[in-house]
Amino acid sequence: MNTKFYQPAEDSYFLAEVVKNYILNLKNKDILVLDIGTGSGIQSKNIINLGIKKENITATDINGDAVKEAKRFGVRAIKSDLFDKLNNKQNHKFDLIIFNPPYLSENEYDKKPDTTGGKLGDETIVRFIKHLKNHLEKEGVCFVLTSSLTPEIKWKKEAREQKLKVKKAADKNLFFEKLYVWAIN
């Protein structure tokens, strides 16, 4: 097992299941997809298996090892902190954006960027939401995973300010937290 990037866990599999249900209901699978914060590439692998063409998928991660892993699946992979290396002149807007962000708060034992979303846990999500509209097609959807341990007030406020609609797509109880997948458009 490669430990150089985020490995799939309950959150990854839960998000993959929600995305699977969405893609299975699509009439047209010729869509452009952004797998942001790809980690192990589980979301890219999932959607390839569901019939999305590899050439229609862009995977990004701040971790160069994760980018190398994503390239192994034949998708376009870019080392980027969120949307930083994506610009609308070189890249199309996406019909589907998938993001399993770091959503836990920093603590004395864990300050890693693959699990902690900042001091409070929501800072990465807030930065993501600020730029989401610039990269999402008008009729597109973004699936974002959060936890009951993630503060919601700031990122949901930012979504309202960006005139984005946020709807809970699914939730799942775990022993120590509750996971949520949000559909944003």
The domains located in the chain, with CATH, are 10-17+31-184 (3.40.50.150)
Mean pLDDT calculated for residue range 108-114: 46
pLDDT tier, 182 (very low <50, low <70, confident <90, very high otherwise): very high
- For residues 118 and 163, which has the higher predicted lDDT (pLDDT)? 163
Mean pLDDT calculated for residue range 46-69: 94
Query: Which residues in the chain belong to E strands, given as ranges?
Result: 33-36, 57-61, 76-79, 94-99, 136-147, 166-173, 178-184
Look up the pTM and report it. Answer: 0.88
- 125-178 pLDDT tens trace: 899 999 999 999 999 999 999 988 887 888 999 999 999 999 999 999 998 889
Percent of the chain with pLDDT over 70: 84
Residue-level pLDDT at 114: 46
Which range, 1-10, 101-110, 131-140, has the best average confidence (pLDDT)?
131-140
Is 76 exposed, middle or buried, given 0-12, 13-18 or 19+ CB atoms closer than 10 A? middle
Residue-level pLDDT at 103: 58
Residues 137-152 as b/e (b if ≥16 CB within 10 A, e otherwise) read eeebbbbbbbbeebbe
Mean pLDDT calculated for residue range 28-44: 94
Residue-level pLDDT at 48: 97
Residue-level pLDDT at 68: 94
